[in-house]
Structure formats: C-alpha cells, structure tokens
Structure 1
Amino acid sequence: MKPHSLYIEFDRNDWSALRDHTPLPMTEAELEHLKGLNEQVSIQEVEQMYLPLTRLIHLYVEASRRLHLASTAFHGKQTQKVPYIIGIAGSVAVGKSTTSRLLQSLLSRWDGHRNVDLVTTDGFLYPNRVLEERGMMNKKGFPESYDIKKLLKFIATVKSGAAEAHAPVYSHLYYDILQDEVQVVRNPDILILEGINVLQVNKEAQIFVSDFFDFSIFVDAQERDIEQWYIERFLMLRDTAFRNPTSYFHKYGSLTKEEAVQTATRIWKEINSRNLSENILPTKGRAQLILRKDADHSIRNIYLRKL
C-alpha cells in the first residue's frame, strides 16, 4: 500500500524499536488461548509488534487523563473521567478478533487502566428473523444489517460514564442473537469495540459510531490473502464446530474438502468480497492506525496518522 501523506510509515524494525524495554507480560499458553482458529501469531510477534502498540495507546490514554484534568481545572466542574474507546475495523477473517483480544489482555496489565472491556458489534446485528423478513440474510454483515440506533445508544451510554451499559450477545454457533443474554459493561477504563464496519459513515445519519472513538485501528491485508485465510478457517470449522448438530452451519460439516473449498470460495465472492470492497475498505483512511499484514499473518507495516 502506498501510504497517504497523513500517515507516518513504520516497517517491522522501526516499529519494534518503539517497545522501549516494555516488559512482555504474556506466556505462550496465554497467547494460545487468545489466538483465533487459524491465526499464526507468535510470542515474538506480540513482543515486536503488539507491545509497541500498547505502549503507544497507553501514552494516548495518559494524555487523555491529563487533558481531562486540565479541562476540569478550566471549567471548575468535577466530572468523572469517561472510558477511553478504541475502535478496531477490518475485513472478515483478517484477524480483528485476535488483535482485539491481544490488545485487551496487554492493555489491562498497564497501571492506570486495568479494567479493559471488549465488545464486538456482532451483537448489534438484527436477529435472523428480522433479516429474513427483510430479505437480507445474504447481506448479513453489510452496514444495513446492523441495528445502528441500538449500537449508538450503547456506545453513547458508555461514553457518558454511566455505571452500566448493556450489549446484546451473538452466538457464532447458532449464527444469531441470543435473546436472553446481555454483556454488561461497567464503566471500564478502556473499551475496545471490534467490528467490520465500526468506521462506517452514513450520509443520512447525523452522528456516527466512530464519533465516540478516542483511537481507531484498521487491520489490513491483500484481499487474496484474506480470502485464503477465510477458506482455511472454513475448512477448520468444517472439522470442528460445523460437526455440532446444533450449529447453524451443520450442513457443511459433511462436505468433502473439495466441496468445502468451493463453498467457501463462493461465499467469499458473493458476500464477503463485496462487503470488503463496497463498505469496509473505503473506511480504512478514517483509522488513526493501520496494521498491514503479510500472507503469513505477520504485521509488515504500520501507518500512524500524524497529529
């Protein structure tokens, strides 16, 4: 990718040097628990790429605290410091979830912001019954398939400093919202909001989800690599979760490898590739930081927006 002039570009060596002796508070066992199904993230990758990122975010969070104190001193009204919100965007299968979990784990070990929550926007998809009524099941994940009003209400509640905010819970096994479950967010120091379209804008709206972000990250890669990762994950799910009789995708559990590859490729072309090109990629330039990944899942370049 040719970096935009708004960004400072770092290669692996340059970025790794910015760790500045930050200790690695993670074991191999912890990393295995955090990685996605087919994510190839080594402990060295965490040390060289993710530790500098958490150091940068820590500096930004501390700067936000100082700004809050300065603002309080100016207007003289005592107000509670509200959560620092980080948005993480990118394609299906690009590794957003692993990035989010790694950041949640690492950021929670820094003094001053031990309470770090993670919420995914999957819970704000319309239930399947609504998508079916509207003929939108084949556009699940597109911007119009989300209850944006509910998402905006949630993020605004968090950013207001409310004691609690409730987020719906999504099941990848059932491929639907769990009607009787909610995730309770209790005024965290940092909230990470992860989802493919969190940087999306809507011309008809007056306010966007990203208006509430203090920092935003776009996880990027070549589409051919993301498609391959999607197919690899599909094959792994065919041998695991899809074999569960209660899985929404149980019908794929008995496919041969060739049939599974053909099915995954078709789904990618018809749905995920379209969503990527039409809705997700156009939001990349709105991110404050872009993580550019190689075919082996490693981060090759980082682009940080100039201040």
Structure 2
Amino acid sequence: MNELVSRIVELGDHERRAIIAIAGPPGSGKSFLSERTCNLLPPGSAQVVPMDGFHYDNAILDELGLRNRKGAPETFDFDGFETNLKRLRHDTNGVAVPVFDRPIDLSRASARLIRPETRYILVEGNYLLLGEAPWSGLRPLFDFSIFIDVPRAELELRLVKRWLDLGHSEASARAWVENNDLKNVDLVLASRQRPDFTWHFD
C-alpha cells in the first residue's frame, strides 16, 4: 500500500491536479481501495469519483431493452462521463458529480462536489482501462492507472454475496451473477489496457 500511495503522491508535484484511474472487474474492491487510498493521501487533498454514478436510469434501460444487462458498458452514459472527466481536468471551480445509490438502484445527480483545491481525483470503475472503443479513448485523461487483479472464482463469490446482502434470494442472486455480472467480469479480464500499477488480491 505504501508503494502505491508514494507513486500517487509524486504526481502532486505537478501544477495541475492528478487524475488516477482505479479499474477492475465487478466485485474486485474498487470502492474499498479508492476510499482507503483517499484516506492515506494528505488530508483534504483527494476525492473519489465513482463511474457508477453514470449508470443510465432504469427507465431508460427499459426503453432501450437493456435492463437485464445493467452494468454492461452500453448501460452507462459514456459521453457524460467523458465530459465530466474533462471538466475535472480543466475546471478550476467545483464540479458536481453523480453517485450511484446501490440499495435503491439509482444514481443521485450532483451528489458529490469535487472541490477546487482537490489535488488527487481517484476515479473508480469497471471499464476505465477497457481496450475497446469508446472506452479506450479515456486513457489520455488519466495520469496514473491501477488495475485490481482478483481471481474469477473469488469475484463470483463476492458478487453473489453482494446480491444476497441486498435482499435477493439465493436463486435470484446466482442467476443475475451468471447471466449478467460474470459476462462483465469476463469482458474486463479479456480486454484491458496495461495499467501503471497492478494491485493483486491477497
């Protein structure tokens, strides 16, 4: 952990703020690592921006026929996410970002304000290092990238537990993981760009 934090701190020597990508498949622990890293950086210097805030609303997914693939690349507002990253890079004012509320399964607009004085922005999401267009075009927006490497079998266990903890039955949780979540896991594992740093599951 110390090595990772030290490499991020070095980015703060530049005049502009540093944007760090924390990528990995569903269930890999991106939110946990982002928050932990944020807390280890100088106090008040870092904030987390979750890509999940850019999920399309369920009503839009129903309209597009994509509700059963929620979490796949095509179920995110990519253009909105990319525009937000560019604002975070260049806007010296505060930037409001949406945050996904998993228990109610909806994004809350402008739920987090990224302060002008923030030096390190930790962006976390499944597809930040995906090697397929249009996602592959995000790479130049990141100063440093991290990929969380977790065995597929462990990811499956975590994902089933996630849905069980949210009140789903065992049959429902396993069906969703097998028919949706693991497809997204396999996509991320099969098509990813090389990160600057790999965090191995221990």
* Partner amino acid, structure 2, of 1:156: K
3-state DSSP class of the match of 1:291?
strand
Cα-to-partner distance string for 1:91-122 (whole Å, 9 max, x where unaligned): 1111111000000000134xxxx420101011
Please give the secondary structure, in 2, of the residue aligned with 1:108. Answer: coil
Two-structure CA RMSD over aligned residues (Å): 2.0
State the distance in 2 between where 1:285 and 1:139 align: 23
Gaps of 5+ in 1: 1-49, 66-80, 239-251, 299-307
- Whether the 8 Å contact between 1:89 and 1:196 is mirrored in structure 2 is yes
2:145 equivalent to 1:145: no
Q: Tell me the equivalent position of 1:211.
A: 140
Matched, 1:159 2:67: no
The match for 1:169 is 99
Distance between the aligned counterparts of 1:206 and 1:273, measured in 2?
19
Shift of 1:283: 4.2
Unaligned 5+ residue runs, structure 2?
none
Q: Distance in 2 between matches of 1:125 and 1:206?
A: 15
Q: Secondary structure at the match of 1:208?
A: helix
Match of 1:122 in 2: 52
* Contact 1:119–1:191, Cα closer than 8 Å, also in 2: yes
The whole-number CA distance in structure 2 between the counterparts of 1:174 and 1:162 is 33
Q: Deviations over 1:229-282 (max 9, x none)?
A: 2223333333xxxxxxxxxxxxx3xx4xxxx1x33222111111111112x113
For 2:174 and 2:149, how far apart are their aligned partners in 1?
20
C-alpha separation in 2, matches of 1:206 and 1:285:
10
Q: CA deviation at 1:132?
A: 0.8
- Structure 2 counterpart of 1:97, from 21, 28, 31: 31
Runs of 4+ residues deviating >6 angstroms: none
Is this contact kept in 2: 1:143–1:200, CA < 8 A? Answer: no
SS class of match (1:153):
helix
Separation in 2 of the partners of 1:169 and 1:221? 25
Note if contact 2:128-2:135 (Cα within 8 Å) is conserved in structure 1. no
Residue 198 of structure 2, aligned match among 290, 295, 299: 290
Q: Does 1:86 align with 2:15?
A: no
Equivalent in the alignment of 1:8: none
CA change 1:201–1:150 in 2 (3 A) is: farther
Secondary structure of residue in 1 paired with 2:86: helix
| Alpha carbons of structure 1 residues 206 and 53: separation in structure 2 relative to 1, 3 Å | closer
Please name the residue that 2:154 is paired with. Answer: 225
User: 2: CA distance between counterparts of 1:162 and 1:282?
Assistant: 37
Report the residue type matching 1:233 in the other structure. R
Deviation at 1:206? 9.7
Higher relative contact order (CA 8 A, sep 6+): 2
Cα distance change, pair 164–172 in 1 and its aligned pair in 2 (3 A): same
Aligned 8 A contact 1:125 1:141 in 2: yes
1:200 to 121, 126, 130: 130
> Number of residue pairs matched?
201
Q: Kindly provide the CA deviation profile for residues 176-225 of structure 1, in whole angstroms up to 9, marking residues without a partner as x.
A: 1225x43221231000000111122443x497222210001111111111
- Residue 57 in structure 1 maps to residue 57 in structure 2: no
Task: Using structure 1 for the length normalisation, give the TM-score.
Answer: 0.61
